[in-house]
Chain A
């Protein structure tokens, strides 16, 4: 039954990839098409208001600077709102202004598409804060990621000097992609009983006669973009395991597909841009194989239950249900966990802290690799970076200077790629080691021993991968955690974006080498295998020692 549930969701995804990928291609190919009629007028209005009458294509530098500056402005506005939310409207529950380091962490967290939450939505944010900061950034950060992917794709598939106009891409990403999709998903969720209101929390008297406050608010609209934008920040503290965010297995499936569809379909978009759809399928294939690998690990290990409990003579036939919702069960929980960390969304429908040790490797490893579908846009770009590394190592073996899509990979590109390659382990392992050196870090661990290693490692891995889910056991609401994870999220997002856009800027200028029989092909099964191998070997070599000390040691000690 479990496997069938999983198979159905994967099948649905496969049905979405081609149409959505094609649609995104039409949105960003800048060639006249049918959607212009629908959205053109509205966009013209936006362009007119913002003075974007001339939308010239930009060099990578201009594109990147425009992107960063836009993000900086959004951060500044968002920070002010969080710090002043008590004085602003739509605050029926009288929520106070946010404390500075938490506000810093929160704003970075949402701008970087991470959505690590060191606050609880019900008590930490006004409705205005939720809508004007959280929901707004859920759109802008996701579109930022998508346009990065589009610019990168243009860089490796076209010839010239420019990567497109950032502002036009940015507007179109909202008007033609995320806004319409979010409206549809919101309406569906409302139809499936997810609340959407601006009324204050409801106070009720329970059957036991106790007064209880039931938190509510504009939930459906947030939940839709939370997934579509691979954001993951929940309206409520417990995120998508809360019955108002994710009431039924059906909403669970919709939420999974929402966060999965754009990263997966972008591979097809890439194939369309490359004028060779096989190129896209190779990337999709490599991502899928890795996904299935990790999904199996999580599903099997959660189904087998907790060996420590089995030893006590408890019946674990149901699998390890600790921290999981009865309405989802093992299959829907394991799949959700795998999807949310693959697409680096970070929304959770079960508590990752209570995953079995081996099952816990799945979310950790996927975030460490950061290429299994990945967040909107950035996942594809990261995978393409690995493809370039794979081409570089293996391409030499056919006796030619390595080339990717006909573009030679030379020292300049390698330098930039290694910056991105190096940044990820540096900002995971560095801060983790620092945390273990101080009591500020070690003190936050709630389960000492090997599990403690997993807790801290997970927190930084999730921040670096801009995922945002947490091993919630960690007491991470302190200045130390706010600042360190804030910085990790910041570096995790922008170092690789800038470095890889620079790669695109360099590749776009190169004269493509025509393909011959002597060309190293990147559109066949062999290359899919190479890509998987490169990702696994580089990833495994980097993170195996800490994984051995964390989850593996934990597993071995309770076995």
Chain B
């Protein structure tokens, strides 16, 4: 999934798809798509009529039969092309992944401590290998010793290396990624063929694509409609014969093909594949199409506060003076203490000061002695020309000042408590033995989160925030971010409890997680999105993995799931609605020769019975390639209430589906007439 592979349709892709469309003509392959299989059988029948007219009483009808045959043949090819194109895009991605999965050499640690170089194919679960700088990691595993930076671009497309180390939640490594510094010992956790990379390849290739329950249900409906129309066409023969209408077999085949839902039948699997593909392009790996569709059904999303809703770093939000100092004093001192502080907190102090219009000249403090933050002292700052500036935890600063013989402002405690109550962290600022005030550090909500939660609410999705903070802090952040509910002081087991509670109410729950202690909740959730940076246990338990490790992506995944279902429904509606116009083209045409009065039903004023039937058939064929881009891209999804969404889509695809073919068939009829007359 390198960036370079994200390009959409290129010439090779189309060429392969064209070749594949012919390969898919094999009836054994076609049988998997019953609707198109019926078309193929009809095509063969018309072909036989062409070459053996005497067996079918079809002498002198070669031209007409040839035309019907050609159109039918292209109908099938178009359907195959749609599927082949969708598959082809997946294959292209798989190929780039396969390059990462080359057979590599592994330095296997023997029991006696020596190293033996073996092929990565021979590694089994539990083997321990040494991976040194420049080596490819031979298989999925867990670091048991050491720390290394690893280039995971083969999988994630992200070129910046990531740090992985033994123990904790960042110990898992993926086969095919490269160690770019240091060396590590890795315990292999997957047998060959079962690794993460293998799974990814088979997923994007669509090789093991299983139809989702929803797709199966729709297929059942389409097959039933096909059988009904087959029945309609077959029974029409003796009934029509009774009133002297002899129907040609090729006309009957044309009627059947126009009526059965070929449009959606042709595009159904392409829609499914393309939906999965959209998720993959988004750098999220879904273990099944079912998981993607389940995402569309989500009622509740459980999100971690830290890292998902907020940046997780506490950033300066306000300078609070204490005693007789002014806000300006606090700002000035805070800036000085933070000049050489490279922590996010420190940088945020400078940013806030700048925003408030503070000015300073950093060159004044060149050559000062920098006092870095230590866990014991719990403060940082600088000394210059006998003056010391410090900022740090309120307690530490207070002790520091008292030790120097200074006085603590009477309102310091009160103000610092106030900040704590609001969910912030107070940092005291001092110059020598004088405390000037406090920096109000606040956990900041990521920009745009509120809007996204609003969107989710419009879709009827509830958001629950989980945080280890106290209820007061949690409430503040929840209100600021606009989440619906929150769980404060939450422990890992709280998540699973909440998921169960929601599920008991019939809701589908999605969550994100990366730690091993998230694994049970990820498994319990209907949609579990694990971070690629997370532990193997988390990834195994989840049904999706985000390669970019961005927990907010769950929201986009929900949108993609909805879009997939919407595309399927919209094109089905369109396909069925199309039949009305086709009826008005074909029925009068079929009966007009024997019953001239049927001309009244020819409301489109089509030129002749022959052009009417051919036009309907041509429309039926070319609508497939015309809709391929929509099937691949998916219908436009704008978050709004179900009712609005429905009205909109019914208008476009339902009403549109009724009107478009009337116009289309008429235009084609004009062209066909022009062509045949001239």
Q: Which residues of A contact B (CB under 8 A)?
A: 389, 392-401, 406, 409-411, 413-415, 418, 421-422, 425-426, 429-430, 432-434, 436-437, 442, 449-450, 452-453, 511-514, 516-521, 524, 526, 530, 533, 537, 540-546, 548-549, 552-553, 556-557, 559
Contacts and interface: CB of A to CB of B under 8 A. Distances in A.
B569 A393 contact: yes
Contact of A513 (B223, B506, B600): B506
B237 A556 contact: no
Contacts of B245: 549
Given A449-B243, A514-B506, A518-B460, A401 B565 contact: yes
Contacts of B570: 396-397
A553 B243 contact: yes
Nearest to A557: B597
Interface string B539-570: 00000000000000000000001110110111
A148 B172 CA distance: 58
Interface stretch (B31-39, B293-301, B305-313): B293-301
B595 A436 contact: no
Nearest to A445: B242
Interface in B619-670: 637, 641-643, 645-647, 649-650, 653-654
A518 B299 CA distance: 9
A300 to B, nearest CB: 18
29 contacts: A393-B572, A394-B646, A397-B570, A397-B650, A399-B565, A409-B217, A411-B213, A411-B216, A421-B228, A430-B235, A433-B235, A442-B242, A449-B243, A516-B461, A517-B459, A518-B459, A520-B642, A520-B646, A526-B643, A537-B579, A537-B580, A541-B229, A542-B228, A543-B232, A545-B232, A549-B245, A553-B591, A553-B595, A556-B597
Given A414-B221, A433-B234, A397 B646 contact: yes
B651 to A, nearest CB: 11
A393 B569 CA distance: 6
Nearest to B649: A397
A92 B238 CA distance: 47
Contacts of B565: 396, 399-401
B54 to A, nearest CB: 24
A544 to B, nearest CB: 6
A520 B459 CA distance: 11
Contacts of B223: 418
A437 B238 contact: yes
What 4 A-B pairs come out closest when comparing CB atoms? A396-B569, A518-B460, A399-B562, A516-B460
Nearest to B652: A397
B162 interface: no
B214 interface: yes
Interface of B: 213-214, 216-218, 220-221, 223-224, 227-229, 231-232, 234-243, 245, 259, 293, 296-297, 299, 457-462, 505-508, 561-563, 565-566, 568-570, 572-573, 576-577, 579-580, 583, 587, 591, 595, 597-598, 600-601, 637, 641-643, 645-647, 649-650, 653-654
B232 to A, nearest CB: 6
Contact of A394 (B227, B562, B573): B573
Contact of B647 (A452, A526, A552): A526
- Which of A389, A410, A449, A548: most chain B Cβ within 10 A? A548
A453 B242 contact: yes
A393 B224 CA distance: 14
Nearest to A406: B506
Given A393-B573, A516-B460, A517-B641, 11 more contacts: A396-B214, A396-B566, A421-B224, A453-B239, A513-B297, A517-B642, A519-B642, A537-B580, A542-B232, A543-B232, A549-B239
B243 A549 contact: yes
A556 B576 CA distance: 28
Contacts of B229: 541-542
A553 B597 contact: yes
A530 B653 CA distance: 13
A436 B244 CA distance: 12
Given A398-B566, A398-B645, A452 B217 contact: no
